[in-house]
């Protein structure tokens, strides 16, 4: 009894439900006891090798069940002693019997009728949609045509206004260009119609008229320079008064007024006040006193001269001197105050906006000599072509030479170059060559290589022409470009495979122009590395 032994008992779970074999219940405690069945597996019958079927699988179990209708119905017939009216009875006669083949045939005929009506409805909707699309397309084309016409009229009106009231260098370029065209036409007419002494007299009269027109243009230029100079001064002072701005992480713009920007804003208000004409005497004296208090903060020879001029004007105004006699004195005050504003000690924000740096050493390192006007100028004052190896002449000398001899208008080429650079920036693939090309290079490319006309439609209006990439997968270059109208350029940039879209002869003609451009721009040292790299790139759209 003191010894123990572990015995492993294997319990096999039955795969069938044990039958209920009966049991009993204890009367005193009420506990039920069931008779236990055998836990061993039943003995399997030996396999005879023959598939046997039981009776249940060979027969069908049938069950009869009576059903009662929900509504109790009855039939009453006429008999002796009972009359049933037949006024509401219906006489039903059997129809013609039709077979399954006739039934399916009738169904097919009905389906065909439905298909006919559906196709008719679908065709009507399709035609109406096509008509609506055609109407919308024609309306859009008419609107685009009207828009183009309106833009052309606006462009001609702006050109006319620019020539009538020239303000900028481009306006005067257009004036001189029109003058040259008029001179050529008149000279050709005189040479064609007159001879001998009459021809010489007519040419002399034409020269005299040209001289008068040039003098008139010069007077307009002087007036425009005065106005532009005043605008440039106000623009400079506006930059000095502009607050600091930066973009936050959420995209909002934050502005902050610093001590220097507030100082610039104060000086701007004073300059605008003393530059204003036809103001009352009391306001003028108040502005002069404010200016006097402002410049007295710093003692130097310039401020002393400004204070002396202010005292002189106040004294003359007290003596009832006429306004027209004070204009020279007021201009001197404005000029000296502008010099005061341009000194960084008095206006710290102006230090980074001056063209001439305060440190002479910086000026010596970044200055070039113009051999035409014999002046030392900053690098941005020189118009350097891409194939040039020397500095050459400055922009003013180029402009003066153009006005005196060629009289060409570069506005159209400048617009093409600006549009080209904007489109290259939108690609965001680090294009560099387009920013190396200058205005004379683009003019040579358009005039000598592309003949100032579209490669597809031969349109020669430079205002409607743009330069885009020939193969948009590579950056723009003189040997990867094409000159087209704006509509043609939009369609060209949507092309995925140039070889399948254009004919071989057209691609060959374009590549010949690219070869000419390569030969011209291969002289540029900066583009030599780019040109060498482009020669090793595989071009899938090349014509062979």
For 12-74, the DSSP string reads PPPSSPPPP--EEE-TTT--EEE-----SPPPPPPP-SS----HHHHS----------SS---
Tokens of 288: 């002069």
Cα distances (Å, whole numbers) of residue 157 to 150, 165, 407:
10, 12, 22
Cβ–Cβ < 8 Å for 411, 173? yes
When pLDDT is cut at 50, 70 and 90, the band that residue 44 belongs to is: confident
Q: Could you report the per-residue pLDDT of 15-40, keeping only the tens digit for each?
A: 767 777 788 888 888 888 888 765 56
Q: Convert the pLDDT of each residue in 517-533 to its tens digit.
A: 888 887 766 666 666 55
Of 535 and 309, the one with more pLDDT: 309
Q: Quote the DSSP letter at residue 368.
A: E
Residue pair 442/417 in contact (Cβ under 8 Å)? The answer is yes
Helix (H, G, I), strand (E, B) or coil at 496: coil
Q: Quickly count helices (H) and strands (E) in the chain.
A: 17, 8
Where b means 16+ CB within 10 Å and e means fewer, 46-71 reads: eeeeeeeeeeeeeeeeeeeeeeeeee
**Cα–Cα distances in angstroms (integers) from residue 40 to residues 21, 259, 372, in the given order:** 16, 104, 123
Kindly report which listed range (115-129, 131-145, 287-301, 399-413) carries the lowest average pLDDT score: 399-413
Q: Tell me the C-alpha distance between 445 and 448, whole Å.
A: 6
> What tokens appear for 521 in the block?
């721009």
pLDDT of residue 483: 92
| β-pair type (375-377, 368-370) | antiparallel
Q: Which residues pair with 467 in a beta bridge?
A: 483
Q: Is the pLDDT of residue 198 over 80?
A: yes
8 Å CB contact between 265 and 347? no
Domain-wise residue ranges, the chain = 169-193+200-228, 253-354, 363-406, 408-528
Helix orientation angle between 411-427 and 169-193, rounded to the nearest 10 degrees: 140
Closest CA to 273 of 254, 287, 256: 287
Residue 376, beta-bridge partner list? 369
Taken in order 338, 339, 340, 345, the sign of the CA dihedral is positive
Torsion of CA 29, 35, 38, 43, to 10 degrees: -170
pLDDT digits (tens, 9 = 90+) for 419-455: 999 988 888 888 888 888 888 888 888 988 999 899 9
* Cα–Cα distance, 469 to 455 (Å, whole number): 13
Predicted confidence (pLDDT) per residue in 138-171, tens digit: 999 999 899 988 988 888 888 888 888 888 888 8
Classify 440 as helix, strand or coil: helix
In angstroms, the CA 276 to CA 264 distance is: 18
Measured between alpha carbons, how far is residue 22 from residues 16, 33, 35, 238, 510 in Å? 18, 9, 6, 111, 106
Question: pLDDT tens digit string along 74-100?
Answer: 677 888 888 888 888 888 888 888 899
Q: What is the pLDDT of residues 355-382, one digit of tens each?
A: 766 666 666 677 888 888 888 887 778 8
Asked if pLDDT for residue 514 goes beyond 60, the answer is yes
Q: Residue 185's pLDDT band (boundaries 50, 70, 90)? A: very high
Q: Which residue has the tokens 């020879």?
A: 301
Distance CA 356, CA 461 (A): 42
Q: Are strands 32-34 and 465-469 parallel, antiparallel or unpaired?
A: unpaired
What span, in angstroms and rounded, lies between the C-alpha atoms of 24 and 35?
Answer: 8
Q: Is the pLDDT of residue 45 over 80?
A: no
Length of the chain equals 544
CA distances from 242 to 61, 134, 256, 291, 536 (A): 102, 54, 9, 21, 50
Residue 341: which of 277, 388, 274 has the closest Cα?
274
pLDDT of amino acid 72: 66
Contact 465, 485 (CB under 8 A): yes
pLDDT band at 544 (very low <50, low <70, confident <90, very high): very low
Q: Cβ-count burial of 130 within 10 angstroms (0-12 exposed, 13-18 middle, 19+ buried)?
A: exposed
Q: CA-to-CA distance for 160 and 166, rounded, in angstroms? A: 10
Give the span between the Cα atoms of 468 and 475, in whole angstroms.
10
What pTM value is reported for the model? 0.62
CB 388 within 8 A of CB 365: no
Q: Which residue has the tokens 């002072």?
A: 237
Each residue's pLDDT tens digit, 272-286 = 888 888 888 888 889
Distance in angstroms (rounded) separating the CA atoms of residues 351 and 186: 53
């Amino acid at each position: 009894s003191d010894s123990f032994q572990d015995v492993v008992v294997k319990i096999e779970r039955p795969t069938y439900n044990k039958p209920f074999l009966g049991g009993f219940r204890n009367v005193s405690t009420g506990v039920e006891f069931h008779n236990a069945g055998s836990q061993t597996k039943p003995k399997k019958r030996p396999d005879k090798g023959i598939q046997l079927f039981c009776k249940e699988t060979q027969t069908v179990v049938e069950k009869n069940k009576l059903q009662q209708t929900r509504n109790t119905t009855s039939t009453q017939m006429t008999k002796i002693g009972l009359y049933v009216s037949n006024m509401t009875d219906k006489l039903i006669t059997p129809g013609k019997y039709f077979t399954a083949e006739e039934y399916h045939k009738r169904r097919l005929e009905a389906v065909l009728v439905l298909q006919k009506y559906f196709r008719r409805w679908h065709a009507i909707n399709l035609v109406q949609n096509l008509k609506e699309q055609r109407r919308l397309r024609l309306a859009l084309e008419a609107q685009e045509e009207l828009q183009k016409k309106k833009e052309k009229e606006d462009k001609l009106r702006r050109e006319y206004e620019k020539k009538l009231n020239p303000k900028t260098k481009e306006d005067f370029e257009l004036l001189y260009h029109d003058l040259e065209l008029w001179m050529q036409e008149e000279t050709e007419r005189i040479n064609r119609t007159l001879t001998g002494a009459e021809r010489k007299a007519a040419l002399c009269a034409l020269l005299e008229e040209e001289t008068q027109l040039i003098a008139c243009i010069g007077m307009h230029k002087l007036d425009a320079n005065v106005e532009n100079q005043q605008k440039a001064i106000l623009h400079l002072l506006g930059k000095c008064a502009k607050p600091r701005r930066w973009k936050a992480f959420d995209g909002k713009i934050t502005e902050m007024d610093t001590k220097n920007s507030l100082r610039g804003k104060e000086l701007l208000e004073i300059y605008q006040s003393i530059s204003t004409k036809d103001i009352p005497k009391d306001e003028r004296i108040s502005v002069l006193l404010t200016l006097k208090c402002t410049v007295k903060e710093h003692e130097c020879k310039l401020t002393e001269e400004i204070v002396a001029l202010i005292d002189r004007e106040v004294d003359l105004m007290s003596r009832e001197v006429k306004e027209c006699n004070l204009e020279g004195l007021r201009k001197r005050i404005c000029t000296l105050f502008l010099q005061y504003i341009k000194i960084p000690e008095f206006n710290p924000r102006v230090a980074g906006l001056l063209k001439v740096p305060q440190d002479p050493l910086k000026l010596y390192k970044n200055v070039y000599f113009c051999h035409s006007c014999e002046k030392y100028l900053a690098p941005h004052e020189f118009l350097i072509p891409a194939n040039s190896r020397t500095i050459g002449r400055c922009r003013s000398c180029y402009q003066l030479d153009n006005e005196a001899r060629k009289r060409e208008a570069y506005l159209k080429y400048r617009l093409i170059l600006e549009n080209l650079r904007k489109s290259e920036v939108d690609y965001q693939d680090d294009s560099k060559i387009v920013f190396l090309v200058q205005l004379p290079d683009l003019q040579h490319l358009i005039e000598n290589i592309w003949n100032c006309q579209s490669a597809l439609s031969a349109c020669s209006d430079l205002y409607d022409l743009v330069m885009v990439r020939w193969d948009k997968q590579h950056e723009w270059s003189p040997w990867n470009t094409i000159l087209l109208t704006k509509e043609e350029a939009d369609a060209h940039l949507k092309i995925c495979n140039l070889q399948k879209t254009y004919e071989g002869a057209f691609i060959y003609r374009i590549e010949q122009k690219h070869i000419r451009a390569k030969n011209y721009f291969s002289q540029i040292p900066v583009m030599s590395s780019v040109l060498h790299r482009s020669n090793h790139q595989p071009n899938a759209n090349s014509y062979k």
